[in-house]
Amino acid sequence: MAFPQSRPRRLRQSPALRELVAEVRLGVSDLVAPLFVREGISSPQPISSLAGVMQHTRDSLKEEVRALADLGVPAVILFGVPAAKDEVGSGAFDPNGIVQVALRELREELGNRIVLMADLCVDEYTSHGHCGVLNAAGDVDNDATLEIYCKAALAQAQAGAQVVAPSGMMDGQVGAIRAALDGAGFHDIAIMAYSAKYASGLYGPFRDAVDVQIAGGGNRKGYQQDWRNAREALREVAADIEQGADIVMVKPAMSYLDVIASMSQRVDVPVAAYHVSGEYAMIKAAAANGWIDHDTVAVEQLTAVKRAGADIILTYFARWFAETQQ
């Protein structure tokens, strides 16, 4: 006998029916808010290329994190902008560095109401803008940089970070940090590794936010991943998990949905994705010009990242999305 023709549109007839059969649901609990705290300013400073995002004072940072916690956002990740920079990025591991001071204050004020993550790198703190210590030839010295990362991890853990997030793409960074944390008794501090961080052109607004210029017009292609390679990302992820990563990350998100999907199918730890500054800024700019619908495209992109397999999404849209759900 002939069977009636399938009509998928039957399940799209009303908002309630579409909601009933939706395969993926984006929620506030999926999101992490990246935040910037700057040393030596008396009021929050807007970032021109990141509409609606601020370089916070310590006081305004506390207000922002408290508001995010009230909205149900489960975590924030902190990036610091120091008053002074040097060749080794000492502000990243100074107990009185801006992020460490902010972590202590947030922990004291909010306790465990929200997860405090700290980006673990030195590019915001180095005078040359690279993610590590430079050797005599001007190249990043991998092993010397690992020593700095270990110091920074301990400083962040002592200040109250629950998750440290090494983002410099140094070989062996997760293993070195895990050993340093465990050796100091910080067995419960988790590591969220930027395992597949690509040498992308989408980081420009972020560099504005942290006042980073790479010396000599250089780039980070020698240590960040080549955007043409996907299998390489899986090797990096496997190495990080073997070394003790608790969460692995892909950065950026939208241009690397295939990598997110491959990772989520292969690993047994949470997968994070960073919807980066350029991805956010493009939506804001296009919407400001009336070319796209801001709200629709923002939710569409974040949902696509989750649909690809991300368990955690770092995004500058976190507060906006949380407010829309109230």
| Residues listed for the chain | 326
pLDDT band for 112, please (50, 70, 90 cuts): very high
Query: Which of 85, 251, 284, 306 does the annotation list as catalytic?
Result: 251
Alpha-carbon distance 39 to 169, whole Å?
A: 26
Q: How many CA atoms lie within 13 A of 228 on its CB side?
A: 1
Q: Is 85 an annotated catalytic residue?
A: no
pLDDT band for 74, please (50, 70, 90 cuts): very high
Share of the chain above pLDDT 90, in %: 76
Give mean pLDDT, residues 78-86.
91
Give mean pLDDT, residues 172-199.
96
Question: Are residues 277 and 223 in contact, defined by beta-carbon separation less than 8 angstroms?
Answer: no
pLDDT at 201 over 70: yes
The pLDDT tens digits of the residues spanning 27-67 come to 999 999 999 999 999 999 999 999 999 999 999 999 999 99
Give mean pLDDT, residues 63-81.
97
pLDDT band for 212, please (50, 70, 90 cuts): low
* CATH class for the domain made up of 25-324: alpha beta
Q: Is 197 an annotated catalytic residue?
A: yes
pLDDT at 3 over 80: no
Which residue would you say has higher pLDDT here, 151 or 132?
151
pLDDT at 242 over 60: yes
For all residues of the chain together, what is the average pLDDT? 93
Provide the pLDDT for residue 119. Answer: 94
> Per residue, what are the HEC states of the chain?
CCCCCCCHHHHHCCHHHHHHHCCCCCCHHHEEEEEEEECCCCCCEECCCCCCCEEECHHHHHHHHHHHHHHCCCEEEEEEECCCCECCCHHHCCCCCHHHHHHHHHHHHHCCCCEEEEEECCCCCECCCCCCCECCCCCECHHHHHHHHHHHHHHHHHHCCCEEEECCCCCCHHHHHHHHHHHCCCCCCEEEEEEEEECCCCCHHHHHHCCCCCHHHCCCCCCCECCCCCHHHHHHHHHHHHHCCCEEEEECCHHHHHHHHHHHHHCCCCEEEEECHHHHHHHHHHHHCCCCCHHHHHHHHHHHHHHHCCCEEEECCHHHHHHHCC
Question: Are residues 124 and 81 in contact, defined by beta-carbon separation less than 8 angstroms?
Answer: yes
Provide the pLDDT for residue 128. Answer: 82
The pLDDT tens digits of the residues spanning 270-281 come to 999 999 999 999
Query: Of 48-57, 132-141, 295-304, 312-321, which range is least confident?
Result: 132-141
pLDDT at 295 over 80: yes
Q: How many CA atoms lie within 13 A of 187 on its CB side?
A: 1
> Is the whole model's pTM more than 0.85, yes or no?
yes
pLDDT at 220 over 80: no
Q: What angle do CA 80, 61, 154 make, to 5 degrees?
A: 45
Q: How far apart are the first and last CA of the chain?
A: 51
Domain boundaries, the chain: 25-324
pLDDT band for 1, please (50, 70, 90 cuts): low
pLDDT band for 219, please (50, 70, 90 cuts): low
Provide the pLDDT for residue 215. Answer: 62
pLDDT at 16 over 80: yes
Provide the pLDDT for residue 236. Answer: 93
pLDDT band for 94, please (50, 70, 90 cuts): very high
Alpha-carbon distance 313 to 273, whole Å?
A: 5
Alpha-carbon distance 42 to 160, whole Å?
A: 24
Query: Which of 62, 197, 284, 306 does the annotation list as catalytic?
Result: 197
